[in-house]
Chain A
Amino acid sequence: MKSWRIFSTRYSKSIFWFGLVLLLLAATALSLWTGSVALSPARVLDVLTGKDTSSTAARIIFYSRLPRTCAAFLAGAALAVAGMVIQTVLNNPLASPGVIGVNSGAGFAVALVCAVFPAARQYTPLVALSGALIAALLVTGLSWRTGASRITVVLAGVAISALFGAGIDAVVTLVPEALDGVADFRVGGFTGVTMARLVPAGGLIFVSLAVVLSLARQMDVLRLGSDTAQSLGLCVGVVRFVLLFLAAVLAGAAVSFCGLMGFVGLIIPNTMRRLLGEGSLELTAASALGGAFFVIVCDVLSRILFAPFEIPVGIILAFAGAPFFLWLLLRQKGVRV
Chain B
Amino acid sequence: MIQLKNLSAGYFGKPVIKNVTMEFQPGKVTVLVGPNGSGKSTVLKAALGLLPAMEGGVWYDETDIRLLKRRQIARKAAFLTQSRNTPSIRALQMVLHGRFPYLSYPRYYGKEDYDAARKAMDATGCQQYENTNITRLSGGQKQGVYLAMALAQDTPAVFMDEPTTYLDIGHQFGLMQTAKSLAREGKAVVLVLHDISLALREGDLIGVFQEGRLLCFDTPELVYHKGVMEQVFGVDIHRMDTPHGTQYYCTLKEAKDALVSHIH
Residues of A that sit less than 8 Å from B by CB: 1-3, 5, 8, 91, 214, 217-218, 220-221, 223-225, 227-228, 230-235, 273, 277-279
On chain A, the residues within 8 Å of B78 by CB distance are 231
**From residue B196, how far is it (CB to closest CB) to chain A in Å?**
25
**Contact status A233-B75, CB under 8 Å:** yes
- Contact between chains at B101 and A3 (CB < 8 Å): no
- B interface residue numbers (CB < 8 A to A): 45, 48, 50, 69-75, 77-79, 81, 83-90, 93-94, 97-98, 100-101, 103, 106-107, 133, 135, 153
In contact, B87 and A234 (Cβ under 8 angstroms): no
Q: List 8 A-B contacts (CB under 8 A).
A: A1-B86, A3-B88, A214-B106, A217-B100, A217-B103, A221-B97, A223-B85, A231-B81
Indicate if the CB atoms of A220 and B135 lie closer than 8 Å. no
Asked whether, in the complex, the Cβ of B77 is within 8 Å of the Cβ of A224, the reply is: no
| CB atoms of B88 and A233 under 8 A apart | no
Other than the known A233-B69, A233-B100, A273-B88, what 20 A-B pairs have Cβ atoms closer than 8 Å? A1-B88, A1-B135, A3-B88, A91-B85, A224-B84, A224-B87, A224-B94, A225-B84, A227-B45, A227-B50, A227-B81, A227-B84, A228-B79, A230-B50, A232-B98, A233-B72, A234-B70, A277-B87, A277-B90, A279-B89
How far, in angstroms, from A234 to B71 measured CA to CA in the complex?
7
A279→B93 contact, CB < 8 A:
yes
Residues of A within 8 Å of B101, CB to CB, are: 232-233
Residue among A3, A91, A224 facing the most chain B CB atoms (10 A cut-off): A224
**Beta-carbon contact of A223 and B87 below 8 Å:** yes
Q: Is the CB of B74 within 8 A of A232?
A: yes
Could you say which residues of chain A place their CB within 8 Å of the CB of B74? 231-233
Residue in A2, A8, A232 with the greatest tally of chain B CB atoms within 10 Å: A232
Note all chain A residues with C-beta closer than 8 A to B79.
227-228, 231
Which one of B48, B77, B85, B90 lies within 8 Å of A225 (CB-CB)? B85
Give min CB distance, A334 to chain B, whole Å: 13
CB distance from B69 to the nearest CB of A (A): 8
CA distance A279 to B98 in the complex (A): 15
Give the distance to chain A from B81, nearest Cβ to Cβ, in Å. Answer: 5
**Who on chain A is nearest to B79 by CB?**
A231
Contact across chains for B85 and A277 when beta carbons are under 8 A apart = no
Could you tell me the distance between the alpha carbons of A220 and B135 in the complex, rounded to whole angstroms? 15
Chain A residues with CB under 8 A of B89: 220, 277-279
From A8, A230, A278, give the contact of B70 (CB < 8 A).
Answer: A230
* A232 & B153 in contact (Cβ 8 Å cutoff): yes
A5 in complex: contacting residue of B81, B107, B133, CB < 8 Å: B133
Question: 9 tightest A-B contacts by CB?
Answer: A233-B74, A231-B79, A233-B71, A233-B101, A217-B107, A223-B87, A3-B88, A225-B85, A278-B87
Q: Are A228 and B81 in contact (CB under 8 A)?
A: yes
**Measured CA separation A232–B106 after assembly (Å):** 17
Bound together, the chains give a CA A189 to CA B199 distance in angstroms of 65
Q: In angstroms, how far is the closest chain A Cβ from the Cβ of B252?
A: 35
Closest chain B CB from A125 CB (angstroms) = 33
For B12, the closest partner residue in chain A by CB is A147
A267 CA to B249 CA, complexed, in Å: 54
Q: Which of B71, B73, B84, B107 contacts A228 (CB 8 A)?
A: B84
A residues near B69, Cβ cutoff 8 Å: 233
Which residues of B lie under 8 Å from residue A217 when comparing CB positions?
100, 103, 107
Given contacts A2-B135, A5-B133, A217-B103, contact A231 B50 (CB under 8 A): yes
Query: What's the nearest-Cβ distance from chain A to residue B161, in Å?
Result: 9
- List residues of chain A with CB within 8 A of the CB of B77: 231
Cα(A8)–Cα(B91), bound, Å: 13
Chain A residue nearest to B109 (CB atoms) is A217
B133 touches A3 (CB 8 A): yes
A213 to B: closest C-beta gap in Å: 10
Q: Of all chain A residues, which has the CB nearest B153?
A: A232
Taking CB atoms, residues of chain B closer than 8 Å to A228 are 79, 81, 84-85
Residues of chain B lying within 8 A (CB to CB) of residue A233: 69-75, 100-101
Among residues of A, the one whose C-beta sits closest to the C-beta of B86 is A1
Contact of B100 among A8, A221, A278 (CB under 8 A): A221
Considering the chains assembled together, what is the distance between the CA atoms of A228 and B77 in angstroms? 12
Closest to A88 in B: B87
A221 to B102, CA, bound (A): 13
> What distance in Å separates the Cβ of A280 from its nearest Cβ neighbour in chain B?
9
Q: Kindly list chain B residues whose C-beta atoms are within 8 Å of the C-beta of A231.
A: 48, 50, 73-74, 77-79, 81
